Structure 1
Amino acid sequence: MKCAIAKPFSGFPFLALALCLIMSGAVSAQKKKKYIVNAYVGGFRGLANVEQIDAEKLTHINYAFVNVQDSMAVLTNLATDSTNFRKLNALKKINPDLKIVISIGGWAWSENFSDAVLTESSRLKFAKSSVDIVRQYDLDGVDIDWEYPGMRGEEGNIFRPEDKQNFTLMFKAIREELNLLEKEKGKKYLLTTAVGGSKSFIEHTEMGLAQAYLDYVLIMTYDYGGRNGTVGHHTNLYDYDPSGEGSSADRSVKNFIAAGVPAHKIGLGGAFYGKGWEAETADNHGLGAKRVKSVQGGGYTKLKDTMIDQNGYKKYYDKKAKAPYLFNDSTKVLITYEDEKSIKGKCKYIKKNKLAGIFFWEYFNDPKEYLINEIHKNLD
């Protein structure tokens, strides 16, 4: 908004300027998003193309990932991580309300969480090292992506029954360190977590207790797949399984609310990538067939530009699941993914159920912003 001092105020420039600033502030307040739009941005590959990020359409960026080693949060590539932090912080010139948060763990770097939070002293060490990164690089908080407490996750991960209680105690320790930083800096810091969408995740944690220390619980409502080794949707909003026991975003949200997580803290997950499987038969366009093997899916921009209704793939839409998919009759390959229609449906679901907002993995899987633009249109 540009401020022009009109002639009636020419004798009162300070009054005119004050009114102008108030009006500008009112416009700014109106533009501030009601819902979170949280993008995971991968820094594990090296330097991120930060200049390609449309910062005005986001509220939060979770930088993925920070490793866990020797009971500490560790930047594994200091040169690229520090450069990425500097460039991400520069996006605040475009969007002053944008929050930059470090995400610790992820699928490949969760093997040492159990050891890191096993004792009071190790938890304190982990919490301090996590918050020290936030302090050093002038960031806005910590996100924990432990895949998974009390369960294996990636082959070779350390896990133990005590993870259930230590998961909660970890957040308590980090929150206390962030509280100290808040007193030191005079600003609010975020503590969030990305959680698995399965009921087993809830059974191996104390989400009702843990949520007290958390600003947001980001439910990874993707990577589902069919039951018992069958081909199915990976990021569907509703259940489509005839048994009524399939996985869906709706079921995950209801399970977490039942476990004690308030709806207003829940972020719904969007997948900016597809997953593919070769089906044993072409019956029902592959849905429900036995999986033969995994097949590369790819990011949404690639899917939309090169595969949807192209190269032997035909697009279908499952009205019950509220999810699109592609099927190739000759290769029997099914690709399950998120599109503009399914994202719009998730945005509607967020509003209807008064959730915190949406998050997605991963920003650069959709460089043409097909899905980001849809979120921006439907979740303001």
Structure 2
Amino acid sequence: MKKICLLLLAVAALVISSPEFAKAQSKKKYIVNAYVGGFRGLVKTEEIDADKLTHINYAFVNVKDSLATLTNLATDSINFRKLNALKLINPDLKIVISIGGWAWSENFSDAVLTETSRQKFAKSSVDIIRQYNLDGVDIDWEYPAMRGEEGNIYRPEDKHNFTLMFKALRDELNMLEKEKGRKFLLTTAVGGSKSFVENTEMGDAQQYLDYILIMTYDYGGKNGTVGHHTNLYDYGVEEGSSADRSVKNFMAAGVPANKIGLGAAFYGKGWEAETIKNNGLGEKRIKAVQGGGYTKLKDTLIDQNGYKKYYDKKARAPYLFNESTRTLITYEDEKSIKDKCKYVKKNKLAGIFFWEYFSDPKEYLLTEISKDLD
């Protein structure tokens, strides 16, 4: 068995080094960036379709005492090894650590408060890249100079320190590039709200960044009403939240289109509406209800179990409504993904990214992205 495995590895190495393979695996025109939740434990990398991706962002690395910290060294180290092994399938695939996220952003403000703390944070971040032979750093600070999760530390100084953090990280990555002789990535996941733009210096920060991944999801309706959570365009009579509006706000702040990644949600969000008027859209929210990943929605809820599918042509967004329970589920489907991919091409954006890979294990949405962003 050992000899067979060695033979297979030798054959794989020969195939990968061949000019034909290199031509077939030439870099994609657009990024297709998947967030993978390593915080849950061991990642089932054998279920990841590496050929359809350009980047995997490993979520999440924590921030403690001004250091980027792996919270579960045993599983994280195994996950890094297994994710790197996917490069046997797709040599162009980049594995990037994502630091922060909703639950682990409380210490960012302290970590980047002074030049000394920023250097300490940047060095510890890049040390993880160096140790595990990874390809870059992604910052998911939710949110600078604004309240995110209850208990998060935030201060007005975050606005400028956010920029200085990226400079410190870029400086460390530049040193690693000289050491290793290859390129390393620096990216960030950013909130889609106008307030995020107002509380940062994105026009200055972007010079240090390869990609700005705008989280064009989790919108919801205004003033506690039921609304779409990952719609491409505005809907209703008032100015609202949409992917298009978020992109335009970031571009107006000085972010080049070719650095912007458009966000797609591989999960749905559910709300109980006060009334059945307009299928719940725009009605007062009573409470949140379970949405679920797209595979689950498609296989068990769309036009099943009391849920009827609707499509908002103005928003370019699907939703389900159960009249008997007054439950609306807002989500992404193949049609909305297709529209987002067209938007990426039309506006010359960098590509698309999504949260989270295993929310759609049957790859309904990833297959659509792969087909549309070839």
Normalised to the residue count of structure 1, the TM-score between the two structures is 0.93
Question: How far off is 1:241 after superposition?
Answer: 2.4
What is the rounded CA distance, in whole Å, between the counterparts of 1:371 and 1:167 in structure 2?
33
Cα deviation, residue 216, structure 1: 0.0
Whole-Å separation in 2 of the counterparts to 1:145 and 1:28:
30
- What's the CA shift for 1:100? 0.1
Taking the aligned partners of 2:22 and 2:197, their CA distance within structure 1 comes to 42
* Aligned-pair CA distance for 1:50: 1.0
Say which of 324, 342, 347 aligns to 1:348.
342
Do residues 156 (structure 1) and 184 (structure 2) align?
no
The runs of at least 4 aligned residues of structure 1 exceeding 6 Å deviation read none
AA aligned to 1:336 is T
1:138 equivalent to 2:133? Answer: yes
Give me the whole-angstrom Cα distance separating, in 1, the residues matched to 2:189 and 2:256: 15
Is 2:355 the partner of 1:361? yes
Q: Distance in 1 between matches of 2:110 and 2:96?
A: 23
Give, in whole Å, the separation in 1 of the partners of 2:300 and 2:21: 44
User: What letter matches 1:326 in structure 2?
Assistant: L
Contact 2:60-2:97 at 8 Å conserved across structures: yes
For the residue of structure 1 that corresponds to 2:40, the secondary structure is coil
**C-alpha distance in 1, partners of 2:91/2:217?**
30
Shift of 1:21: 5.3
Whether 1:232 aligns to 2:231 is: no
Query: Is 2:338 aligned against 1:331?
Result: no
Partner of 1:186: 181
CA deviation after TM superposition for structure 1 residue 89, in Å: 0.2
2:52 corresponds to which of 36, 41, 57: 57
Alpha-carbon separation, structure 2, partners of 1:90 and 1:155: 38
> Contact 2:33–2:57 (CA<8 Å) still a contact in 1?
yes
| Residue of structure 1 in register with 2:80 after alignment | 85
AA aligned opposite 1:88: L
Q: Which sections of structure 2, spanning at least 5 residues, go unmatched?
A: 1-16
Please tell me whether residue 284 in structure 1 is matched to residue 278 in structure 2: yes
Partner in structure 2 of residue 318 of structure 1: 312
Partner of 2:5: none
Aligned mate of 2:170, from 158, 175, 188: 175
Question: What residue identity is the alignment partner of 1:289?
Answer: E
Match of 2:195 among 197, 200, 218: 200
Pick the structure with greater CA Rg. Answer: 1
Cα distance in 2 for partners of 1:257, 1:270 equals: 19
Question: Which SS does the other structure have where 2:343 is aligned?
Answer: helix
Aligned to 1:216: 211
Structure 1 letter corresponding to 2:269: K
The 1-side partners of 2:18 and 2:186 are apart by 33
Q: How far apart are the structure 1 equivalents of 2:57 and 2:138? A: 7
Instruction: Return the letter of the residue paired with 1:221.
Output: T
Q: How far apart are residue 24 of structure 1 and its match?
A: 5.0
**Structure 1 CA distance, aligned partners of 2:25 and 2:209?**
27
Equivalent position SS for 1:358: strand
Secondary structure at 1:40's aligned position in 2?
Answer: strand
Q: What value does the CA root-mean-square deviation take over the aligned residues?
A: 1.2
- How big is the shift at 1:201? 0.1
- Tell me by how many angstroms 1:26 deviates: 3.7
Residue by residue, what CA displacement relative to the aligned partner does 1:163-190 show, whole Å, maximum 9, x if unpaired? 0000000000000000000000001000
What amino acid is aligned across from residue 83 of structure 1 in structure 2? I
Counterpart secondary structure, 1:79: helix
Paired letter, 1:163? D
Matching residue of 2:124: 129
**TM-score using structure 2 length:** 0.95
Query: Does residue 106 of structure 2 align to residue 114 of structure 1?
Result: no
- For 1:218, give the aligned amino acid: L
Aligned residue for 2:244? 250
Across the two proteins, how many residue pairs are aligned to each other?
A: 359
CA distance in 2, matches of 1:155, 1:88: 33
Are positions 1:102 and 2:102 aligned together?
no
Query: Whole-Å Cα distance in 2 between the matches of residues 83 and 26 of structure 1?
Result: 31
SS of corresponding position for 1:44: helix
Letter paired with 1:343: I
Name the counterpart of 2:9.
none
Q: Aligned ranges for residues 30-49 of structure 1 at < 5 Å? A: 32-49=27-44
Task: Describe the SS at the equivalent of 1:103.
Answer: strand
SS at match of 1:325: strand
Change (3 A) 1:189 1:289: same
Identity score, percent: 83
- Tell me whether 1:71 sits opposite 2:66 in the alignment: yes
